[in-house]
Structure 1
Amino acid sequence: MELRRRRGALVLGLVFFATGAFVLGCFEYLTVLGWIVGLLALLVGGGVVLAERRPFRFHIGPNGMVLRVASLNRAVPWTEVDAIVLDQQVPTIGEKQPISSSLLLVPPTNSFVEGPLDGRSPVDGRPALILLDLADVRQSVDEVAAALARFAGSRFTDVRHLRRARFDSPDFNIRPGGYEPAQVDDLIRQGRDGLLIDQLLPRWAAKATFERARAELPASELGYDRTEVDSLLDELSVLIARSPSRGTQAG
């Protein structure tokens, strides 16, 4: 599978560059502010164009990966990959931006991989090389995950599945005055169903229903720990609220 880089930023950079060149071309009529705006637009646009035109290659195949990303510019066989992880930002309340997803390469202890290991595997905390922000490629997160699952096998971990497993089998402590367990279990199942909706308006309706049911959660003499339940429901609520577009679903 050959990944292709998105070009949206390149178009924006060209617009800035052309705008700056046009403004500076009218030098006879420019004020000081005009010079400043023109130069800034030219510099910003030129910087974006140069960044977007840098060489890029990311091929995933049965023998490994052929990369021209980060600090790597060579073929990386699977024997040089101890783990490759699809990491995904943990959603937070109030955050409106799409959830960020990235690929991390964890090399074997006896292997040398070029570049700083400035990332951390969310699975076991080992140092990792940050390969790619998946928002920068045309393929969806699911397409990239499917290719890695096929070719990298057990080396590949998709943290979205780990998070989904948390929703499938939550393990809450029992506390006096906690939430009624059966009601919480039903609400989590309802939230998981909402994650599967791929149309915007029905998904929003599912979110509203979820929040109403959440506000009415009853207490029990012995029930699920309120803090633990609220933390999980916060995360589930944010995921349901995301538009069902590329890179935003829980998997």
Structure 2
Amino acid sequence: MELNRSRQTLWKGLTVFGVGVLPLLYLTSASTVRWIALGLWLVSAGVFVAYQLRPFRFRIAADGLDLRIAGLNRLVAWAEIEAVVLHQPLPSGGRKQRAASVLLVPATASTIDRRLTGRSPVDGRAALVLLDLDQVQQPPGEVAAALAHFGGSRFADVRQRAPERSDAPGAPDMEALSLLSSLTPRVQKAIDSGDASQRQALKAEVDAALAKLSEASAGRDQPRLDGVLKAMSDALATEDEDTKPS
């Protein structure tokens, strides 16, 4: 399998350079300073394009990884590779999740002489960061399948996905639902029993659950279930009022 470089970054960069040059042409007076600034801008654009169009090769095959990336320009045989890791850490600090990265852990007999700036998330060994998968056209799943097929036990897929938030809009609070399913038959039984002490004890339990649920749900952008608990509490209290002598 051969990976193809994505050109999205190139087109986005060219758009930025194209839009950015307009003020230099139309909003500044003709002067030596303007032409110097324009020249520097064009040189920067040229360097950017040259970097994006630099030679690239990433081929996954039975005999190893044929690479022209990360300072390598040769076939790295599987015998030189201790492990290939597909890593995607969970986002932190509210940041967007980064693209998955391909890391290569050289074997003891490897002749790879590049600086190992990465760390394998599997065992912490030094690793060479080959590329981020947002740089190529193939989806991560296809790359993982090819590495698993040809790399065998050397390949480890340790991508981590951010878990779906239980406080996402419209997401049910499973703990609250479990609590309600437990309380509902007990509340109905207490009301039907006519036992005031049983209703009072259960009302105290419902009120405590209501306070805990309201505190846990503070700030969540979702329909809360505390209204049902409040209705239970009111029903138990109403029964108490109905049984009081007039």
- So what's the TM-score if we normalise by structure 2? 0.61
Change over 3 Å in CA distance of 1:58–1:215 after alignment to 2: farther
Amino acid at match of 2:106: P
The answer (yes or no) to whether the contact 2:89–2:97 under 8 Å persists in 1 is no
Residue aligned with 1:82, SS: strand
- Give the conservation status (yes or no) of the 8 Å contact 1:20–1:37: no
Correspondence 1:100-115 to 2 at 5 A: 100-115=99-114
Of structures 1 and 2, the one scoring higher in RCO (CA 8 A, sep 6+) is 1
Change (3 A) 1:209 1:58: same
Q: In structure 1, what is the Cα distance between the partners aligned to 2:115 and 2:39?
A: 34
Is the CA contact 2:166–2:172 (under 8 Å) kept in the aligned structure 1?
Answer: no
Q: Do the aligned partners of 1:16 and 1:41 also contact (CA within 8 Å) in 2?
A: no
Tell me which amino acid in the other structure corresponds to 2:156: T
* Corresponding residue for residue 74 of structure 2: 74
Mapped to 2, the partners of 1:217 and 1:36 lie a distance apart of 70
Cα gap change, 1:94/1:206 in structure 2, threshold over 3 Å: closer, same or farther? closer
Deviations, residues 93-124 of structure 1 (Å, cap 9, x unaligned) = 521x3432100000112322131011100000
Alpha carbons 2:167, 2:173 under 8 Å: kept: no
**SS of residue in 1 equivalent to 2:86:** strand
Tell me which structure has the larger Cα radius of gyration: 2
Aligned CA distance change for structure 1 residues 214 and 38 (closer, same or farther; 3 Å): farther
CA RMSD of aligned residues (A): 3.5
2:61 corresponds to which residue?
A: 61
Q: Percent identity?
A: 45
**Equivalents in 2 of 1:148, 1:122: separation in Å?**
17
Count of residue pairs brought into register by the alignment: 179
Q: Which moved further from structure 2: 86-95 or 48-57?
A: 86-95
Superposed CA offset, 1:17-61 (max 9, x none): 555666666799347885676456424422321110111000001
Per the normalisation by structure 1, the TM-score is 0.60
